[in-house]
Chains A and B, each alone.
Chain A
Amino acid sequence: MTVYLPIAEISVNIFIILGMGAAVGFLSGMFGVGGGFLITPLLIFYNIPPIVAVATGANQVVASSISGAITHFRRGSLDIKLGTVLLVGGLLGATAGIWLFALLRRVGQLDLVISLLYVVLLGVVGVLMLFESVKALRRAANNQPVSLRKPGHHNWVHGLPLKMRFKKSKIYLSVIPVVVLGFSIGVLTSIMGVGGGFIMVPAMIYLLRIPTNVVVGTSLFQIIFVTAYTTVMQATTNNSVDIVLAFILMVAGVIGAQYGVRVGQRLRGEQLRALLALLVLAVGMRLAVDLVLTPDEIYSIVSEGVRR
């Protein structure tokens, strides 16, 4: 059964899109990630224009993150003050990102930059995650305890000025790294269509030393608002949010995620992370290959939309 995507302007097989959404939803439930960084490349592989894939990806992340955000909000396992500072950076970053997105589109380098960013990001994250999980697997094999946070250990981040007290996180921290982190994630959200949790969570834990119990809730708080804002901005600036595509992905995604969570609870964390790392690397590799291989057609046409 084919369905016509009004903004992407192509007909697609609805079952392939449903399958994609369900598979990514399953993985995101299993690994506790938003899934935007998998959805967007998959859509590009399926010939959805990258501009639509990115904008629609951001919209899809809103749906996949909302239930987690509600849960954390209800439990109170988030630091609203910290989340707000992150959000300020995120909104500024998303605004800058949208501007950059439109500029890159105008000069015809948008598709390239999206692919390059994905190759770099997926490559780096995949390799880091693989090393970390292999190390953890070895440690587990030798029965050594695993510790993520070393309290009392300070790094250069804690020497920065403009400090602020975040009561909930029980931390006294400069707002500079928080805003910068939020800003970077905001840029990534608008240019790559990702929530950015897979970068934000490790950065908050390892770099900012924020207690793990509030990290996920706080990052989801930021992600929800930044992806929602990005969706509206993409719709207004680039008219590139495909609501039909987004809706199919969302429905399949939220259902897939429920099963992913169940499976994830039965598997061990290190093994899961190693699996996810391999998947991330495979997607990155595929994008890299497409950039290097000689394309079938080296010319392309775009209408400027000035019409008559």
Chain B
Amino acid sequence: MRTLLQTILIAFVLATAAPALAQEDRRPEIGERLEIGMSTDEIAIASDFRGADLTIFGAIEGYDPRLLAQAKYDIVVALEGPKDNQTVRRKERVLGIWVNRRSMTFELAPESYSLSSTRDVDDIAPAAVLNSIGVGLQHIRLDPVGFFGDGSNVSEFRDAFRRLKETGGFYQRDPGGVQFISASLFKATVRLPANVPNGTHVVRAQLFREGVFISEKAMPLRVVKTGLEQMISNAAFNNPVSYGILSVILAVLTGWIASVVFRKD
């Protein structure tokens, strides 16, 4: 059985490879690849960080010069923040008071998302293609978890999520942020927001040819916050008991020192 399966597989591979070999002189159907590079895989951010640009260099390999000359290739580079389940809540008026009534949790959505492309992503490829690979602010995968009724309000919560993320500066886009600096060499600039989340981000680059998604390349980028503030925050989350006791000791000392300093006698 196993040998049979292997034989079939080999036959299949040969069958698919054969036409490519035979039509070597013609335009290759597959072959373009993306290569990207960054000067670092880790960024240290101080507490006075006000946002910065991250530049990524890359090249298209195995391209078709004629298509390149006609600008038929498009590149999208996104910096995706750490992913987390995120809940959107909506307030409604109940007995005159505004109360959180409905909510929807999206599974593992990026906390931040910074997009850079050769032109507006919606002009690069059809919505169906972008949705399937989750590229673009309007096309990021936002899957609700758990019970969410008949699903009629999913789009409403998705829109609210994107809008809040955009107004908060967590989600950004720059159509035109990817520029060719030579025939196949490009430079992409993505924005790190001021409130960039700590953790492992992913730089994801996609190559499109005439609206067709060709290939993808991803690289991790660690964002590490430094400084006293981050030390405190780490302590609060990693050693909460000691942190709590320290907070109490600090309060006791402050109160006690004050009573000694200001004693009237």
Contacts and interface: CB of A to CB of B under 8 A. Distances in A.
B199 A307 contact: yes
B131 interface: no
B84 interface: yes
Given A7-B236, A59-B247, A235-B241, A304 B87 contact: yes
B240 A4 contact: no
Given A63-B252, A67-B255, A239-B236, A302 B96 contact: no
Given A6-B236, A62-B251, A299 B258 contact: no
A294 B91 CA distance: 10
Nearest to B85: A304
A76 interface: no
A255 B245 CA distance: 23
- Name, among A67, A251, A301, the residue most crowded by chain B CB atoms within 10 Å (CB to CB): A301
B83 interface: yes
B89 A291 contact: no
Contacts of A241: 236, 243-244, 247
Interface residues of B, number: 54
B256 interface: yes
B164 interface: yes
B86 interface: yes
A4 to B, nearest CB: 5
A247 B93 CA distance: 38
Nearest to B230: A6
B147 interface: no
A243 B85 contact: no
B257 to A, nearest CB: 8
A52 to B, nearest CB: 11
B244 A231 contact: yes
Contacts of B172: none
Interface string A50-66: 00000000011011111
Contact of A236 (B85, B105, B241): B241
A300 B258 contact: no
A306 interface: yes
Nearest to B259: A67
Nearest to B160: A299
Nearest to A2: B48
Nearest to B165: A301
A233 B244 contact: yes
A128 interface: no
Contact of A292 (B82, B84, B96, B100): B96
A273 B209 CA distance: 76
A145 interface: no
A112 interface: yes
Given A108-B87, A254-B255, A246 B164 contact: no
Interface string A226-259: 0010011111100101011011001100110110
Interface in A7-51: 7, 9
A66 B229 contact: no
B56 interface: no
B70 interface: no
A304 B255 contact: no
Contacts of A65: 255
Interface string B94-108: 001111100101001
Contact of B248 (A62, A236, A254): A62
B83 A239 contact: no
Given A6-B229, A112-B99, A244-B232, A308 B83 contact: yes
B240 A236 contact: yes
**Which 8 pairs across A and B sit closest by C-beta, in order of nearness?**
A235-B244, A66-B255, A67-B259, A232-B244, A254-B258, A62-B251, A63-B251, A299-B160
9 contacts: A6-B236, A59-B248, A62-B252, A62-B255, A70-B259, A235-B247, A243-B247, A246-B247, A258-B258
Given A63-B252, A304-B85, 14 more contacts: A6-B230, A62-B248, A66-B256, A67-B258, A109-B100, A241-B247, A254-B258, A258-B258, A294-B98, A295-B91, A304-B86, A304-B87, A307-B84, A308-B84
